[in-house]
Amino acid sequence: MKNVISAVCIKCGAEHEATPGITTCSKCGGLLDIKYDYAYIKKNFTKEKLAQRELSMWRYEELLPVTGEAKIKKLRVGWSPMYKADRLAEAIGLENLWVKDDGINPTASLKDRASSMAVVKAAEAGVDTIACSSTGNAASSLAGNSAAAGFKTYIFVPDRAPKGKVAQLMIFGANVITVKGSYEDTFRLSAEAIDRWHWYNRNAAINPYLMEGKKTVALEIAEQFDFKMPEYVAISVGDGCTIAGAWKGFKDLYAIGAIDRLPRLISVQSTGCYPINKAFAENKPLEHMEENTIADSIAVGVPRNADKALNAIRESNGIAVNVTDEEILDTMRLVGRTCGVFGEPAGSAGTAGVRKAVKDGLIPSSATVCTVVTGNGLKDVANAIKAAGEPLNIAPDMNELVKYLKI
Ligand SMILES: *Cc1c(COP(=O)(O)O)cnc(C)c1O
Ligand SMILES: [Zn+2]
């Protein structure tokens, strides 16, 4: 990889060779961050080249840590649509709001960006089995992307995971273990199993390449804004890999001169589980929290990537907003009705956070804001019905119809 220098420990600064199977720092156990040769990338990454490439996350190859040698079948991940959401903007009280719908990815969440990367790195590492633990989406996404490429998977999810996500796992042929416990319990068990059977590790944060996949959402946002950045980008936060990845993407583009300003991040968590936002707001070390929210994908009481996420929020001069389950459900409905975009609870949380930030005067109505819908609502129909209610149910009789419709 001519574009990659090393994998640097964010705790002790030790530099390691960026081998495909690398996980955490061998000196101190800290998380690793892929370090790039920006001078090399600046010379080789041009907008002319970009214009010729396929519309997927892999169009940014100079900024991705892959050799190009892994020849595997990939699903089409990325290049999700960016909608100018004028009716939603008006309802929220903003002048300029865009919605990026990452729920259109092949397994219906942003996690496909990380899983597509994981599968390529597993192929480079020459293994045949990949494993992870997940609140649900990383799991279904790993299962789908692995099925396409022909890898075997072992997947651990807490038994609270919504049915839609578990159904995906079963259809994609994963070996699924649902764990009677929290996400933290699930994570711990998967880590032990990965150690024991030497599977390729697709666990959030532990594998430094996943964030590099997730950063493509930021590269796309920049390109879709014609490299003139919005002032704010809102992202819902669980483990913290998505927001940290997005920040890495923006900083990469800034480092090579492709953009001339960085956006401020809006970190959105649930009032039922907000350890990262709490540490940020109080400027204190992270404390673990309970996982009390319907937004299962961001119900992460012990976030694995808190250090990088906190760095990202701080460096971007970002803001942290916590939203209630009611605010999430209400926003799910509002985004559906004004944009035709259907997010799962965690996928709607980012926009709920924008709404709250405007209401509380944290961002001015003149601000240019981009919000990312991180997962599709069909994954969790039970909560969607909670948000929108049940439909009219009548006998097949015209008189009844007239009586009920009142039009
Ligand atoms: C995983 C996930 C998030 C949060 O990403 P983290 O990297 O865990 O912070 C947000 N929304 C959805 C739909 C997700 O699946
Ligand atoms: Zn270290």
Q: 238: Cβ below 6 Å to ligand 1?
A: yes
Q: What is the per-residue pLDDT for 243?
A: 98
- Please report whether residue 331 resides in a domain: yes
Q: 350: Cβ below 6 Å to ligand 1?
A: no
Q: 298: Cβ below 6 Å to ligand 1?
A: yes
Q: What is the per-residue pLDDT for 236?
A: 98
How far is it, in rounded angstroms, from Cα 23 to Cα 20? Answer: 9
- Please report whether residue 315 resides in a domain: yes
Q: What angle do CA 97, 99, 100 make, to 5 degrees?
A: 140
Amino acid at 87: R
Q: What is the per-residue pLDDT for 116?
A: 97
Q: What is the per-residue pLDDT for 295?
A: 95
Cα of 47 vs centre of ligand 2, distance in Å, is 36
Atom of ligand 1 nearest to the CA of 111: 15
Instruction: Write b or e for each residue in 119-142: b if 16 or more Cβ atoms lie within 10 A of its Cβ, otherwise e.
Output: bbbbbbeebebbbbbbbbbbbbbb
The DSSP string of 300-366 is -SS-TTHHHHHHHHHHTT-EEEEE-HHHHHHHHHHHHHHHS--B-HHHHHHHHHHHHHHHTTSS-TT
Q: 239: Cβ below 6 Å to ligand 1?
A: yes
- Please report whether residue 15 resides in a domain: no
Quote the number of domains for the chain: 1
Cα of 235 vs centre of ligand 1, distance in Å, is 9
- Please report whether residue 176 resides in a domain: no
Q: What is the per-residue pLDDT for 68?
A: 87
CATH number at residue 254: 3.40.50.1100
Q: What is the per-residue pLDDT for 359?
A: 98
- Please report whether residue 215 resides in a domain: yes
How far is it, in rounded angstroms, from Cα 380 to Cα 376? Answer: 8
Q: What is the per-residue pLDDT for 163?
A: 87
Q: What is the per-residue pLDDT for 370?
A: 98
Taking only the tens of pLDDT, the chain with its 407 residues reads 899 999 999 999 999 999 999 999 999 999 999 999 999 999 999 989 999 999 999 999 999 999 988 889 999 999 999 999 999 999 999 999 999 999 999 999 999 999 999 999 999 999 999 999 988 899 999 999 999 999 999 999 998 888 889 999 999 999 999 999 988 899 999 999 999 999 999 988 899 999 999 999 999 999 999 999 999 999 999 999 999 999 999 999 999 999 999 999 999 999 999 999 999 999 999 999 999 999 999 999 999 999 999 999 999 999 999 999 999 999 999 999 999 999 999 999 999 999 999 999 999 999 999 999 999 999 999 999 999 999 999 999 999 999 999 88
Q: What is the per-residue pLDDT for 311?
A: 97
Q: 371: Cβ below 6 Å to ligand 1?
A: no
- Please report whether residue 258 resides in a domain: yes
- Mutating to test ligand 1, I would choose from 77, 184, 298 the residue with most ligand atoms within 8 A of its C-beta, which is 298
- Please report whether residue 180 resides in a domain: no
Q: What is the per-residue pLDDT for 205?
A: 83
Q: Which residue has the tokens 């099925």?
A: 147
By residue range, what is the domain housing residue 267? Answer: 82-108+210-388
Q: What angle do CA 261, 267, 272 make, to 5 degrees?
A: 175
Q: 237: Cβ below 6 Å to ligand 1?
A: yes
- Mutating to test ligand 1, I would choose from 297, 304, 372 the residue with most ligand atoms within 8 A of its C-beta, which is 297
Q: 249: Cβ below 6 Å to ligand 1?
A: no
Q: Which residue has the tokens 């720092």?
A: 25
Q: Which residues pair with 319 in a beta bridge?
A: 266
Q: 374: Cβ below 6 Å to ligand 1?
A: yes
